[in-house]
Amino acid sequence: MAINTKIALITGGSRGLGKNMAIAIAKKGLDVIITYNSKKEEADAVVKEIESLGQKAASLQLNVADSGTFDSFFEEVKTALKETFKTDKFDFLINNAGIGIYNSFIGTTEAEFDQLNNIQFKGPFFITQKALDVMNDGGGIINISTGLARFSSPGYAAYASMKGAIETLTKYQAKELGQRQIKVNVVAPGAIETDFGGGVVRDNEQLNQTLSSITALGRVGLPDDIGGVVAFLCTEDARWINAQRIEVSGGMNL
């Protein structure tokens, strides 16, 4: 009997955590669509890596801050599904793309607030709304939050608030989409060594040590610590996990 290969769409799959998720998901036997904002070459390299694992893959450009483009983006998704994957729907959506802006609550400008809101909250809200027409029943949505939504660390008031909003949204989505058997969960990474925030966790040795010292497992995270958890949520074994926040931080700020 033919088994239908599931397909995951990951926003921001060109680098960092999204890239790691994409490859981990492919290793579980799913096909993958990734998006990139500006780094097409990196995205194409991820597609090649996934294909070398024996799975199908495609990359599409998407600026999650620009909700006016979402309808045309999903037209491109439909075309890719037809041409590359020989189907018309996908199964898992991972809202991963994001940026950080470091500023105090008092210092945060309206422009910074709007930019964070557009990328971290409004974008995933409406991308998910529009994705539902192109998603099969029985799949899942994974929203990427942060440890900073559980504890406060000065400099992240606006960023962490947007992530807090997506955590609340997750519960509402899980409740409303349950009738379609779509599971909705949050994965909240701790501090991870990527390009995020200018690469500070990776490149600033003092910060890296400070973060390691407040982590039970004694180090900061690496992309490999995250991708496999998201990939697990895209498997049949995770079918009964719904409306949960899974923090993947090595035990930060316990």
Ligand X SMILES: NC(=O)c1ccc[n+]([C@@H]2O[C@H](COP(=O)([O-])OP(=O)(O)OC[C@H]3O[C@@H](n4cnc5c(N)ncnc54)[C@H](OP(=O)(O)O)[C@@H]3O)[C@@H](O)[C@H]2O)c1
Give yes or no for a contact between 7 and 91, defined as CB atoms under 8 angstroms apart.
Answer: yes
Length in residues, the chain: 254
Residue (65 or 182) nearer to ligand X, CB: 65
The question of whether 172 is a catalytic residue gets the answer no
Stretch that binds ligand X, among 10-18, 25-33, 106-114, 229-237 (CB under 6 A): 10-18
Q: What share of the chain is helix, strand, coil (3-state, %, to 5)?
A: 50, 20, 30
Does position 72 interact with ligand X (CB under 6 A)? The reply is: no
Q: Does 155 bind ligand X (CB under 6 A)?
A: no
- Sorted by sequence, the CB contacts under 8 Å of residue 121 that are 6+ apart come out as 162, 165, 166, 169
Q: Which of 49, 112, 167, 195 binds ligand X (CB under 6 A)?
A: 195
Least distance between ligand X and beta carbon 195 (Å): 4
204 to 233: interface string for ligand X, x by CB under 6 A: ------------------------------
CB of 1 to ligand X, least distance (A): 37
The one among 62, 116, 211, 234 contacting ligand X by CB under 6 A: 62
CA distance 16 to 39: 12
CA distances from 202 to 63, 83, 191, 211 (A): 25, 39, 9, 11
Can residue 74 be called a binding residue for ligand X (CB under 6 A)? no
